[in-house]
């Protein structure tokens, strides 16, 4: 086998999730200035961000005693930074080490902590509520399943997913990376096969309809125990 053939076979293999997400930020695949980390329009467009913040803030402030919150897949923290003040402790997690170090240097609050973890492989921090905002949509079914098993240790899970508009076949498998199931005209429904995520209560917090053909973004609150 010559070198070119060997390299070609290597390229065809799915990248580990960590390497794929590192590439997203290194090559600015979701846009943004080359000098900065940028988690995409979904973390900046007011029509997407503001309704999410309103819904989650309303939930968090409904408790007499503030909750311990784990933001799983915090990205560049442009969204999460607005929620810290409504929590007892806020642990923000992402798989990209340089991104976490960048966030640590920029965002400093007494009740804020950043951790670099692989959600599918590593043990998750403990807390009352997990925020998983447009994260699972980028992951393979196997990785989604591994994460869902760990989410059962939280009392509440607030899950946000980008979905096709109208009817679609849910949970088509993908290779983990920058893309989503939208290219397959699919989206995640964690309550359906192959996941069967076991919840006690389900409540839709908001639904944002994007431009025609770009789908919808739904944020759902699940009570686990």
Rg (CA), the chain: 18
Q: Which residue has the tokens 């007499």?
A: 64
Over residues 164-187, the pLDDT tens digits come to 999 999 999 999 988 899 999 999
**pTM over cut 0.85:** yes
Q: What is the pLDDT of residues 186-204, one digit of tens each?
A: 999 999 999 999 999 999 9
Q: How far is CA 176 from CA 4, 36, 165, in A?
A: 25, 23, 22
Write down the domain spans for the chain: 3-223
Domain 3-223 sits in CATH 3.50.50.60: no
> Residues 89-131: pLDDT tens digits?
999 999 999 999 999 999 999 999 999 999 999 999 999 999 9
Euclidean distance between CA atoms 133 and 42, whole angstroms: 10
* Higher pLDDT among residues 21 and 101, named by residue: 101
């Amino acid at each position: 086998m010559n070198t070119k053939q060997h390299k070609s076979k290597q390229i065809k293999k799915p990248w580990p999730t960590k390497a794929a997400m590192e590439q997203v930020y290194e090559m600015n695949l979701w846009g943004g200035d080359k000098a900065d980390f940028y988690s995409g329009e979904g973390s900046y467009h007011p029509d997407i961000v503001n309704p999410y913040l309103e819904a989650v803030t309303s939930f968090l402030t409904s408790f007499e005693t503030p909750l311990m919150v784990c933001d799983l897949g915090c990205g560049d923290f442009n969204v999460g930074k607005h929620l810290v003040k409504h929590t007892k402790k806020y642990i923000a997690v992402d798989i990209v080490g340089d991104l976490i170090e960048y966030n640590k240097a920029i965002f400093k609050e007494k009740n804020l902590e950043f951790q670099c973890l692989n959600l599918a492989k590593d043990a998750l921090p403990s807390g009352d509520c997990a925020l998983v905002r447009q994260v699972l949509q980028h992951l393979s079914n196997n990785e989604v399943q591994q994460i869902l098993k760990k989410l059962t240790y939280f009392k509440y899970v607030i899950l946000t997913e980008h979905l096709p508009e109208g009817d679609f076949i849910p949970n088509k498998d993908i290779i983990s990376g920058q893309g989503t199931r939208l290219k397959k005209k699919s989206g995640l429904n964690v309550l359906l096969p192959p996941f069967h995520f076991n919840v006690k209560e389900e409540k839709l917090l908001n639904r944002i309809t994007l431009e025609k053909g770009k789908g919808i973004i739904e944020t759902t609150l699940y009570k686990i125990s």
